[in-house]
């Protein structure tokens, strides 16, 4: 199908569906969501000429995973966002089944996208090309085409290039699956973004003493922070354990040191980035003021996603809030980006016995909880957060089966921050030591109700909407 035809179909879908989607009471007030259709991975998160650019996997034609486009937002402050022209549409033979995930860099002052062209064949096989597109003076992107074919020794599951510059050379990490069906991360190098040299596998199942660790690794992201190198990745195929790997697919990180000369990455253990029900495919960017920001997809690629009620209103999924990353004692700490504090309205403060706490509206709110004593909190009659002195449990009913399900954290609880939107909750534990991100669909307006006979200290702010234009 021609690019013009695809763009016409996308425009028709947006025009026909955006009013209904915008009126959905579960539409977020300050999280990013697609105008219509399905959103998944954040792509090309970058700061350029004083503006943040966030691209995203988007199917504007249906609430389904199909041939993905790249949508595009930009913002000067992470609060006021602007729809930019559609960045990529899957119109060429080398991307016939989707412009899959990738990243963005600034090359000689020009915003440049590196993405995976996904191709599927009638016999069920597939291949992948890593492709380039450069921004023109109209804010649109002109495709250069493939710059890297499928490397030898791997199945057609090679995707999600994340590119950065180090010592004047471009480097790329790629998610991959080898011919033994084991997940890997590949490292490549280039002088010009066009000709790439493969340096080898830097991490994956069966490498670096890891043992068998998943059949495919998606969405790698490698960056330096506080003198260490961090590899974020999404291994698929990890068996659930009693207290970890509870989602269908995982997102996590390794801390180590990358030897750029040899391509060797020595690293420690795998740690999950988020312990909630919905979190996947995060991507980070350095900022002009020296921070490292992360945004993830508040979703999981499995069947449960298609039981969310927003599908009836023609849209599906949102992004997480932007988060600031630091590395403290060898561990990634995540805190809400400081810009979000500007969304706060009037503050309310309360302290006393948990069951005597006021019932607050959390439809769009920030709530902090200070306590070391057991308590339980009902979120909109749709989700429960409970602390028993050892385990923090986030509980709800599975939207597909109706059976109870939970996500858990174990430790010494001191403090919680809940960032709530119309259909999402992000829970930051002990000032970002751990996070639980989840979608939920409460009776609106959503109310927060506490129970328990322990002491608790609360603060509450209503949050204003972000501006999306």
* Residues annotated as catalytic (active site), given as ranges: 41
User: What are the angstrom distances between the C-alpha of 217 and each of 42, 151, 174, 400?
Assistant: 16, 16, 9, 26
Strand 252-259 to 264-267 pairing: antiparallel
Q: Angle 439-115-30 (CA atoms, 0-180°, nearest 5)?
A: 30
For the stretch 127-144, what's the b/e string if a residue is b when 16 or more beta carbons lie within 10 angstroms of its beta carbon? Answer: bbbbbbbbbeeeeebebe
Rounded to an integer, what distance in angstroms lies between the CA atom of residue 65 and that of residue 438? Answer: 20
What residues contact residue 81 under an 8 Å CB cut-off, 6+ apart? 32, 73, 74, 75, 466, 467, 468, 469
- Among residues 308, 447, 439, the alpha carbon closest in space to that of 31 is found at 439
Rounded to an integer, what distance in angstroms lies between the CA atom of residue 307 and that of residue 312? Answer: 10
Is the Cβ–Cβ distance between 36 and 14 less than 8 Å? yes
- Among residues 85, 175, 92, 91, the alpha carbon closest in space to that of 138 is found at 85
- On the CB side of 11, how many CA atoms lie within 13 Å of its CA? 7
User: What are the angstrom distances between the C-alpha of 130 and each of 157, 311, 376, 437, 438?
Assistant: 12, 32, 48, 31, 32
Is the Cβ–Cβ distance between 223 and 292 less than 8 Å? yes
* Whole-number CA gyration radius for the chain: 22
Rounded to an integer, what distance in angstroms lies between the CA atom of residue 350 and that of residue 257? Answer: 46
């Amino acid at each position: 199908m021609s690019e013009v035809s695809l763009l016409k179909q996308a425009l028709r879908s947006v025009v026909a569906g955006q009013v209904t989607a915008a009126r959905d009471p579960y539409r977020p007030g300050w999280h990013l969501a697609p105008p219509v259709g399905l959103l998944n991975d954040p792509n090309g998160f970058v700061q350029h000429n004083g503006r943040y650019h966030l691209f995203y996997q988007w199917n504007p034609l249906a609430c389904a995973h199909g041939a993905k486009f790249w949508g595009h937002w930009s913002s000067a402050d992470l609060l006021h966002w602007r729809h930019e022209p559609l960045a990529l549409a899957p119109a060429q033979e080398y991307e016939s089944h989707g412009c899959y995930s990738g990243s963005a860099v600034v090359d000689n002052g020009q915003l440049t996208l590196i993405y995976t062209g996904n191709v599927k064949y009638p016999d069920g096989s597939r291949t992948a090309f890593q492709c380039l597109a450069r921004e023109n003076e109209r804010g649109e992107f002109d495709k250069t085409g493939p710059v890297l074919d499928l490397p030898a020794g791997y199945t057609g599951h090679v995707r999600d290039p994340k590119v950065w510059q180090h010592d004047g050379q471009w480097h790329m990490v790629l998610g991959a699956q080898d011919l033994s069906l084991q997940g890997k991360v590949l490292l490549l190098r280039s002088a010009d973004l066009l000709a790439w040299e493969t340096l080898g596998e830097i991490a994956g199942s069966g490498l670096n003493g890891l043992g068998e660790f998943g059949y495919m690794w998606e969405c790698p992201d490698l960056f330096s922070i506080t003198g260490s190198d961090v590899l974020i990745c999404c291994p698929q195929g990890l068996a659930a354990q009693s207290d970890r790997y509870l989602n269908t697919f995982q997102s996590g990180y390794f801390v180590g040191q990358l030897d750029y000369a040899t391509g060797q990455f020595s690293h420690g253990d795998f740690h999950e980035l988020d312990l909630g029900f919905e979190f996947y495919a995060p991507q980070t960017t350095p900022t002009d003021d020296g921070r490292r920001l992360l945004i993830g997809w508040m979703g999981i690629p499995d069947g449960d996603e298609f039981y969310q009620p927003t599908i009836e209103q023609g849209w599906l999924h949102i992004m997480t809030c932007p988060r600031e990353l630091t590395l403290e004692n060898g561990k990634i700490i995540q805190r809400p980006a400081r810009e979000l504090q500007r969304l706060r309205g009037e503050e309310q403060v309360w302290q006393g016995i948990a069951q005597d706490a006021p019932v607050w509206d959390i439809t769009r709110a920030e709530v902090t909880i200070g306590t070391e004593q057991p308590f339980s909190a009902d979120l909109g009659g749709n989700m429960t957060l409970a602390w028993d002195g050892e385990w923090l449990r986030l509980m709800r009913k599975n939207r597909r089966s109706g059976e109870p399900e939970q996500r858990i954290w174990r430790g010494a609880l001191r403090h919680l921050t809940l960032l709530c939107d119309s259909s999402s909750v992000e829970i930051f534990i002990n000032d970002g030591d751990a996070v639980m991100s989840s979608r939920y669909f409460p009776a609106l307006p959503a109310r927060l109700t506490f129970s328990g006979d322990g002491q608790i200290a609360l603060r509450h702010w209503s949050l204003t909407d972000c501006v999306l234009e």
